[in-house]
Structure 1
Amino acid sequence: MALRDTDPAEIGGYRIEDRLGSGGMGVVYLARSASGRRLAVKVVHGQYADDDEFRTRFSREVAAARQVSGAFTAPVVDADADAPRPWMATLYIPGEDLGTHVRRHGPLPPGRLRELATGLAEALRDIHRAGVVHRDLKPANVMLAEDGPRVIDFGVSRAAESTTADALTQTGRVMGTPPFMSPEQFTSPHEVGPATDVFSLGAVVAYAATRHGPFDSVSPWETATRVVEREPDLAGVPDDLLPFVRLCLEKHPKGRPTPDELLHLLRDGRLPERPERPGAREPGPDPARPARRRRRRTALVAAVAVLAAVAATGVAFLARDGGGTPHALPAGWHAWHRQAGTPAGGNRNTAAPNGPFSGCVTSRTSLVCAGDSVMAARFALADGHNSWTLPVDATPVSLSPGGGTVIGTRPGGVYAIGSEEHAVGTAQEPQIRTRYTVQSLDTAAGRAVWKTVVADNTDSVGPDTGGAVATPAGVFTTYGKASDSYALLDAAHGTVRWRHRMPYGGTDDGDCRLSGAAGQVYLVCHTPDAHGDPDRTTIAQLDPATGKARWTRTATGGLSLLGEARRHLVLGADPAAQKLSGLTLIDLTSQILTTVRLSPPRPASAAYLLRGTLYLTLTSGSVRAVDPATGRELWQSNSTVEQPGPPTASATRLYLASPNGRLAALDLRTGRVAGTLPGRDDSAIDGSSDIPGAPVLSGDALYVLYGRRSVYSVDVKTL
């Protein structure tokens, strides 16, 4: 990186030769000592030079780096924290940092990935033995030297024995880089200890294995929420390193191993025995959990209020002070309601809206919805401006064009399925052929980046019935003219990376469907009995790299994958006679299969697994919350919402909406109706039998699908 006219010729007597990089805290130069030794000299930005607190923190960085200088870090050669612009010189380590390397060359191969995990565990062992907590371990702070990884940049580190009275580590001050921060860095930053580095280690290894972090999101708010409350996305992490990464990413600090224990795990394939692992997950209710969750959520909201503005800098983040919890609404947001416009061109039957959107997702500042004969429509999160509406088929035809289905997000866009119908055959024997496509849509431009035909048949069999799942690697989808295969479409171009035949091709022998849960993709297949009813269900976890099964389990009956809860897959039968009698659980660590009975069977029209709880709904508006681990009913409530669609859950509330837009918010702990809004479009029920997709929550803004291609937005704090 070329030097600039404003760059100094020397610093502290060291001759400057080149720029190595620049970040939120300062500039790093390549320098040379009088004896010819190459050094990396970090010089603080001028705007921080007059900040006494920053100088104190920089002095700590120098002291911390000197304490841990060794085989796994960059040794400190010289420093001056009292200079007009403070600086520190360390031994220069040739090579790329991990983030740059992965962006340029892709994920590390398995052997090198294991070396990285081992080297970083050794580095943390030495750092913690020196009494230091790094607090900002991330790919940019890992140098890939010839002799192994080196950890650099102790800019937000502190002594492990620092007390809560330390002015630089008080509650309200959040240090780190969001995608690689630990839950406690958001919720209780004054209590951060060595375990937070272990959590970051797991996130860094997952990134190196997959080219994405386990909690990545385009929204800083959503990233923080995922770190604190959701399971990590570990699709693509090699099987032999999954236990290592999962243990590192335990939510509770006491549930994480020490670096020494991690090295034992890598060497021997198991953790060393110790009397008890405090904080590790245990079965059974936790009476303190609701209070912890409330404290955790309050701290989270306060901590991430400013992440959007400064997340890219990698420097300290200052949370808001004050008595109230700050709002988390898109910039310029106000309450709005909109109906999607008519698609430009395409089939004339798309002109008159008839039913609701089948689903929406958020992508940056956009809400992208699909359904009712349109491929997708984009609304601005802040004011609802409908900047574009795309037809499924740009060529006018006489038949129905089918519709679109949004299946997930990608950076800067979304993935969607389109189906369009064409007349084939003769006048005497007419037939309808349906062509299915998977498309990658640019939300800013309102156009398809790529479009891949995945099925074309007269049986109306495609990814809308056989399943499609969006992942960081691309889209898993049913494939082939008759959807007799499944394949992975590359995220960049939509090309087929691999393809496999379905075990059953929708024949009398059985059928299969792709489903996603907790970042993994599963193939769920049913085989019928002599009467044609589902008799057996086989579920296989698929490897994104090859599409082959990592493991397979078989259960009795016809089951659907509902989701994941507490490291268990939860499967259930479609409610027969409006009742659900049991669940099947698969332990994701051991793959042991167990059955949970609901006694007596619970009435249900539909079942949804959200945030580890199963919600059973009836068309009357009744809702029951069930613990899937025990089958115990937690509460029952009348939501006042008839014909409710799929619900959405925040940390404290469950939101349900009807086809005409009536909304209810239920307390997650008690089922009590905390707030309602009246319906907006009574004609929606008569105009279409379709149920709208789930409401979409983005911070404190809730987006409710209703009526005829319509959406309205509400601040949930006003409910």
Structure 2
Amino acid sequence: MALRDSDPAEVGGYRIEDRLGSGGMGVVYLARSASGRPLALKVVHAQYADDEEFRTRFSREVAAARQVSGAFTAPVVDADADAPRPWMATLYIPGEDLGTHVRRHGPLPPRRLRELAAGLAEALRDIHRAGVVHRDLKPANVMLAEDGPRVIDFGISRAADFAPADALTQTGRVMGTPPFMSPEQFTSPHDVGPAADIFSLGAVVVYAGTRRGPFDGASPWEAATRVVEGDPDLDGVPGELLPFVRLCLEKHPKSRPTPDELLHLLREGRLPEPGPEPVEPDAEPVRPRRRWWPAAVAALAVLAAVAATAVAVTRDDGGSRGTLPAGWHAWHRQASDPYRGNPDVQSPSDSFSDCAATGTSLVCAGDGIMAARFALADGRQTYSKGTDPTPVKSGFTGGGAVFGTGPGGVVYVYGADDRDVPGKPDEPSVTHYSIQALRAATGEVLWQKPTAGGQGALLPVGTSRSGRADAASSYLSFGGLANDTGYAIPVARGVITVYGDEGGSYALLGAAHGDVLWKRAMPHRYTGDKAECGLRAAGGRPYMLCTTYNDDGDATSTHIAELDPGSGRPRWWVAADEGLTLLGRAHGHLVLSSAGATRRKLTLIDLSSHVLTTVGLKQPEAGATAYVGHETVYFTRTSGSLHAVDPLTGRLLWQSASTVEQPGPPLATADRVYVASAAGRLAVLDARSGRVVGTAPGRDDGGTSDSGDPAHTPLVLVGDALYVPYGIRSVYTLNVKDL
């Protein structure tokens, strides 16, 4: 890069020979020492020279770089933070930075990608041992030297012994590069520690292997949102490195391995065994060591499986290697009746509505059961809690749903408390609802927050459980629960829920204690007072849908908005001239469908441009229930017919007689589609052709539901273990490799 007339001839006694690059904070030159040694000399832009805070930050960069100078960084040769324009000279490393190399030559081949992962893990190990957190690890800050990668540019690093409340961390600036930053750098920047660099390491490895980041977005804001709330895009990452990447990209910093653990994983194919201290399986891990992770993810080194779920390598009858929960064997169980012996309450006689997996637990809810826990491995049933612990004769105890998981083995559920009206025994009781956070392993209530009460109170979850979306991807985070029609939505900071006795508000309840972090009125100023608004989720993001009806009760319009989880404010609004239901997200679009009995089209909203379009279905779908899974729309019918449709074109990909009567929501992966009936009959279809490739018979040991409607309980896939809810509050499991 040619020198400009404005460039200096020398800086600090070092002769300037060429420009290496220029960034937002300064210019980097190729310089030469008196002895002829080549140097990379960074000079701060003039506009920052008078900024005392910036000078202090630059001084820290110099100090941090000096602390970690070694085999995996660029050693500092000289610096002057007090010069009219501060500068720092480091040893020049011939070669391209990783970002430039990938743009010019494409993704690294698997062998070089593995070497890069190991080299960066070694670099972070040395950096963290020096008490420094880099906080801006990205492709441009990785130099590809002949002897391995070098990490450069500690411009926003912070030594571990600097106080978290340091004034320089409180300026409100977003310091870093959003697609490669960790969630905590956006949500709690004062608490950023070494685990943030591990998250960035995973993102850098994905970029090097695919030429795109796992959370790329059309803008820095969108990228930041995806980092905090979205699932990473790992398509194209070599299979042998998926375990490495998945562990690095865990949302919770305490769930990420250390550099030493990552190096052990690369060398031995598994994480090191835990130390002697016992930790309850789903308990919050204790810093600084994550002793629960190594045992929980041993199988991930063989095959990428479900993050945050205890798995171990087992061998099935066919001799192939697969991932199953540690100690797993096939089992079937029925949850106990939490109201047994209570004459005021009729025993639950319906199926579960939802199940979610976390840690070593499968937690299910529905028909008066707030939470029932089964051990993933052997089905051991350790507790069964009713939605209402003190039901009254005039009340109706029902409902129950698990609508997400939180950090540290937590599940979010809702409870109800029926109360008689004082002094009015003939009047029906009123119900008071609450959202609760339970420790999945024990059922302990960590916090409970009332959300509504009285005659106008709304359930914290929707009354219809159909139309789930993203079943294939959401089970990685929520144990099979997509929750795309619920009124309570788990996000990184807690739970967004309808709030208030008349459902006139919505609020964010914090994950730690259930405190109301923000509360907002339903957005009638956008949609009109006659609109009925509700929360929905798709692809891990919260949305608001408001439908307007005419005097005859027909839907005339729908307003759709994406909500900012940090504030609850709408980021954008799109209006449609008909009643729509949200199915989910596919190919960067929201997918919606008309509420009528015959579906002739799909409605799409581009999540980048927010443009609304419609796609006509090549074959109208009458009397079908629609779902979205793994970028495909699936239509199911009570006959067992299953149609797969491309949402972008409306083209019918395939149709299949699944052999399953009254099927529930399909669970789709890259190569399989699983669908089950209320009695537990299971069919496995090839995702490309719709051909039935495996079946399992239904069961009658769970009883028959009193409901006239078929069960719509999502299936849960944990590695190769599939969990099938059926009958009355019953579940069975099998190894999908046996089908």
TM-score of the pair, normalised by structure 2: 0.62
Shift in Å at residue 493 of structure 1? 0.9
Whole-Å separation in 1 of the counterparts to 2:554 and 2:516: 34
Q: Distance in 2 between matches of 1:37 and 1:668?
A: 51
Q: 1:607 to 1:40 in 2, by over 3 A?
A: same
Distance 1:95 1:647, change over 3 A: same
Aligned equivalent of 2:461: 464
CA distance 1:422–1:69, shift in 2 (3 Å): farther
Q: What letter corresponds to residue 639 of structure 1 in structure 2?
A: S
Quote the offset at 1:378 in angstroms: 0.7
Counterparts of 1:617 and 1:665, CA distance in 2: 14
Matching residue's letter, 2:143: H
Residue 514 (structure 1) shift = 0.5
**1:487–1:498: 8 Å Cα contact kept in structure 2?**
yes
Residues 251 and 482 (structure 1), Cα distance of their counterparts in 2 relative to 1, 3 Å cut: closer
Match of 2:401 among 398, 402, 405: 405
Establish whether residue 679 from structure 1 lines up as the match of residue 698 from structure 2. yes
Contact 1:39 1:92 in 2 (8 A): no
- Alpha-carbon deviation of 1:94? 8.3
The residue aligned with 1:50 is: none
1:452-507: CA deviation from partner (whole Å, max 9, x where unpaired): 11111224622223711011111000000111111111111111111111135999
Q: Is 2:562 the partner of 1:548?
A: no
The match for 2:380 is: 385
1:695 matched to 2:715: yes
2:504 to 477, 484, 487: 484
Report what 2:221 is aligned to: 239
Q: 2:403, 2:489 within 8 Å by CA — same for their partners in 1?
A: yes
Once the two structures are TM-superposed, the CA of residue 641 in structure 1 deviates from its matched residue by 0.9
Question: Are 1:65 and 2:73 an aligned pair?
Answer: yes
Aligned counterpart for 2:329 among listed residues 322, 334, 341: 334
Q: Which moved more, 1:201-210 or 1:509-518?
A: 201-210
Work out the CA distance in 1 between the residues paired with 2:503 and 2:64: 63
1:127 maps to what in 2?
142
SS of corresponding position for 1:208: helix
More deviation in 597-606 or 492-501? 597-606
> Counterparts of 1:133 and 1:423 in 2: how far apart (Å)?
72
**How many matched pairs?**
531
Distance verdict in 2 for CA 1:700–1:129, change over 3 Å: closer
Match in the other structure for 2:44? none
The answer to whether the 8 Å contact 2:364/2:373 transfers is yes
Q: CA deviation at 1:669?
A: 0.6
Equivalent residue number for residue 431 of structure 2: 434
1:148 aligns with 2:148: no
Q: Which amino acid aligns with 2:565?
A: P
Shift in CA distance, 438/592, structure 1 to aligned 2, threshold 3 Å: same
Counterpart CA distance in 1 for 2:707 and 2:125 is 69
The code of the aligned residue for 1:388 comes to Y
Q: Distance in 1 between matches of 2:738 and 2:319?
A: 15
What is the CA-CA distance between 1:149 and the residue it aligns to?
3.2
Change (3 A) 1:297 1:658: farther
Distance 1:344 1:131, change over 3 A: farther
State which drifts further: 354-363 or 319-328. Answer: 319-328
The counterpart of 1:210, out of the listed 187, 191, 194, is 187
499, 507, 531: which is aligned to 1:510? 531
Partner of 2:347: 352
CA RMSD of aligned residues (A): 4.8
Note the 1:67-146 alignment, pairs <5 A: 97=133, 120=137, 124-125=139-140, 127-128=142-143, 130=145, 134=149
Give the Cα separation in 2 of the matches to 1:639 and 1:38: 61
SS of match in other structure, 1:239: helix
Range 486-495 or range 677-686, more displaced = 677-686
Gaps in structure 2 of 5+ consecutive residues: 1-62, 80-86, 93-121, 161-175, 270-300, 304-317, 463-485
Are the counterparts in 2 of residues 419 and 435 from structure 1 also a CA contact under 8 Å?
A: yes
Residues 237-268 of structure 1 deviation map (CA, whole Å, 9 limit, x = unaligned): 9727659979x99958xxxxxxxxxxxxxxxx
Shift of 1:376: 0.1
Structure 1 pair 250–449 and aligned structure 2 pair: CA distance change class (3 A): closer
SS in 2 for 1:414: strand
The corresponding residue for 2:411 is: 414
Q: In structure 2, what is the equivalent of residue 30 of structure 1?
A: none
Equivalent residue letter for 1:452:
K
1:664 aligns with 2:683: yes
Partners of 1:305 and 1:91 lie apart in 2 by: 20
Instruction: Tell me which amino acid in the other structure corresponds to 1:694.
Output: P
- Determine the structure 1 residue equivalent to 2:448: 451
Deviation at 1:203, TM superposition (A): 4.0
Taking structure 1 as reference, are residues 653 and 133 closer, same or farther at Cα in structure 2, changes over 3 Å only? farther
Cα distance 1:402–1:149, how it changes in 2: closer, same or farther (>3 A)?
same
Cα contact 1:402–1:418 (8 A) shared by 2: no
Alignment of 1:225-304 (within 5 A): 239=221, 242=224, 251=233
Mapped contact 1:350–1:391 kept (Cα < 8 A): no
Q: Give the superposition deviation at 1:527.
A: 0.8
Question: Contact 1:582–1:601 at 8 Å: present in 2 too?
Answer: yes
What secondary structure is seen at the aligned counterpart in 1 of 2:592? Answer: strand
Match of 2:544?
A: 523
Instruction: Answer yes or no: is the 8 Å Cα contact 1:74–1:93 preserved in 2.
Output: no
Q: Secondary structure at the match of 2:737?
A: helix
Deviates more, 1:521-530 or 1:333-342: 521-530
Work out whether 1:705 is the aligned partner of 2:725. yes
Structure 2 vs 1, CA of residues 694 and 132 (structure 1 numbering), >3 Å: closer, same or farther? farther
Name the SS of the counterpart of 2:157 in structure 1: strand
In structure 1, the partner of 2:578 is: 557
| Residue identity in the other structure for 1:342 | D
Tell me, yes or no, if the aligned pair for 2:660 and 2:675 is still in contact at 8 Å: yes
- Aligned mates of 1:249, 1:361 — CA distance in 2: 17
2:262 pairs with one of 292, 314, 326: 314
Q: Aligned pair in 2 of structure 1 residues 70, 512: CA closer, same or farther (>3 Å)?
A: farther
Q: Which residue of 2 aligns with 1:592?
A: 611
Q: How far apart in 1 are the matches of 2:643 and 2:424?
A: 52
How far did 1:644 drift? 1.1
**Local SS of the residue matching 1:521:** strand
Identity across the alignment (%): 41
The code of the aligned residue for 1:376 comes to A
Return the letter of the residue paired with 1:328. T
Contact 1:660/1:681 (<8 A) preserved: yes
Q: Distance in 2 between matches of 1:564 and 1:518?
A: 6
Change (3 A) 1:601 1:127: same
1:633 corresponds to: 652
| Per-residue deviation, residues 647-703 of structure 1 (Å, max 9, x unmatched) | 212221111111111111111111111111111128744533351411100000000
Q: Which residue of structure 2 lines up, in the alignment, with residue 655 of structure 1?
A: 674
Q: Which whole-Å CA distance do the structure 2 matches of 1:501 and 1:600 have between them?
A: 41
CA deviations on 1:31-74 (whole Å, 9 max, x unpaired) are xxxxx9997589xxxxxxxxxxxxxxxxxx82x53589999999
* Secondary structure of residue in 1 paired with 2:73: helix
Q: 1:232 to 1:151 in 2, by over 3 A?
A: farther
Cα separation, 1, equivalents of 2:133 and 2:347: 54
Give the Å deviation of 1:549.
Answer: 0.9
CA contact under 8 A between 1:625 and 1:634: conserved in structure 2?
Answer: yes
Contact 2:215 2:227 in 1 (8 A): no
**8 Å contact kept, 1:626–1:633:** yes
